[in-house]
Amino acid sequence: MTGSRIIGTGSALPRRIVTNAELAQKVDTSDEWITARTGIRQRHIAEPDETTSTLAIAAARAALADAGVEASSIGLIVLATATPDNTFPATATKVQAALGCNGGIAFDVAAVCSGFLYALATADSLLRTGMAKRALVIGAETFSRILDWEDRTTCVLFGDGAGAVVLEAPLAETDAGSPGILGTRLHADGDQHDLLYVDGGPSSTQTVGHVRMRGPEVFRHAVVNLADVLREVLEDTGVTADQLDWVVPHQANARILDATARKLGISPDKVVVTVQDHANTSAASVPLALDTARKDGRIKPGDLVMLEAMGGGFTWGAVLLRW
């Protein structure tokens, strides 16, 4: 049976754009290095009045408007973030309050850059079991708040933003051409903790901490894990790589996107790339890229769209859906 359907998308970015050239005035880096090694040209960085929740609320409102549905119809909010406004309560509950749809289910998911995939899979499962009829699934981050701005190996890579989708319970009757989620695979490997983590937290240091990453090792794992999980979902669903209309990947590095697509024989012009504008926005990157490709007319009804991501934990996953 085809799973839940995305009926609207939205996104929000902080007002301030920081170019590579501006960063090069603060840390020992250059526009040439960042562009050549990552594809990133700029990122949006939150001002003090912009938080994960304000971005999430704006993205959620845009997704509701796009779907043409009222906030009061939302019975479930799943928000993926590694940078919540507060340790608790969940940022999802702030979104719920701002939208005025109190009373339903609202919680956060922590799977860092794969967070949106984890959130989408969780929301789909809850909708399939009848726990709610319509959900908001949000990826929202202010990673700039946990960057070490003196560490050039990480601070140039990330940006802030939010993306959201309205997800509706599966149709009662579906066939092979029906819109909805066709296949999902999620994975985690806790042995790889030290390759990508934050060196603080409430229970360990009572501080927020900073992002630490062994970039080249993460890069190698990312290409292998992403290619593997894409193959798994293709096999599960009986879809071949050349039948995909679009791949919407987590936007960490343009070279990871190229290498993964090459491994699977997917044409680069089917891969949605927004890393040049947004940098790595962690859990927000997939829904931001999805919203971009939908609003510019690339993704059309009936298209086969593969979402994929990999991040700290390690966690990784992929979701295939028909638009």
Q: State the residues that interact with ligand UT7 by CB under 6 A.
A: 29, 33, 37-38, 113, 152-153, 156-157, 215-216, 218-219, 222, 252-253, 256, 280, 310-311
Residue number with the shortest CB distance to ligand UT7?
215
Q: How far apart are CA 43 and CA 47, in angstroms?
A: 13
Q: Which two tokens stand for residue 11?
A: 């996104």
Would you say 157 or 165 has its CB closer to ligand UT7?
157
How far apart CA 84 and CA 108 sit, in angstroms, is 9
CB of 314 to ligand UT7, least distance (A): 9
Query: Which of 171/224 has CB closer to ligand UT7?
Result: 224
Q: How many Å apart are CA 88 and CA 91, to the nearest integer?
A: 8
Question: Toward ligand UT7, which CB reaches closer, 62 or 156?
Answer: 156
Q: What single-letter DSSP state applies at residue 270?
A: G
In the complex with ligand UT7, the residue whose CB is nearer, 67 or 113, is 113
Q: How far apart are CA 57 and CA 54, in angstroms?
A: 5
> Is the CB of residue 90 less than 8 Å from the CB of residue 43?
no
Reduced to 3 states, what is the DSSP secondary structure of residue 23?
helix
- Residue 167 CB, shortest distance to ligand UT7, in Å, is 23
- 44 as an active site residue: the answer is no
Which lies closer to ligand UT7 via its Cβ, residue 60 or residue 222? Answer: 222
Annotation marks residue 250 as catalytic = yes
Q: How far is the CB of 307 from ligand UT7 (least distance, A)?
A: 15
Both tokens assigned to 320: 């295939």
Find the catalytic residue in 113, 155, 253, 278. 113
Q: Give the burial string for 159-185 (b: 16+ CB within 10 Å, else e).
A: bbbbbbbbbbbbeeebeeebbbbbbbb
**Could you confirm whether 280 is annotated as catalytic?**
yes
User: Using CA atoms, how far apart are residues 169 and 134, in angstroms rounded to an integer?
Assistant: 6
CA dist 80 and 37 (Å) reads 27
Least Å distance between CB 112 and ligand UT7? 7
* In the complex, least distance from residue 163 CB atom to ligand UT7, rounded to whole angstroms: 15
Alpha helices in the chain (DSSP H): 20-24, 31-38, 52-67, 91-99, 115-128, 152-155, 215-237, 254-264, 275-278, 285-295
Looking at the Cβ atoms of 71 and 259, the one nearer to ligand UT7 is 259
Shortest gap between Cβ of 250 and ligand UT7 (angstroms)?
Answer: 6
Q: Which one is catalytic: 44, 210, 250, 278?
A: 250
Length of the chain: 323
Helix (H, G, I), strand (E, B) or coil at 209: coil
Catalytic residues: 113, 250, 280
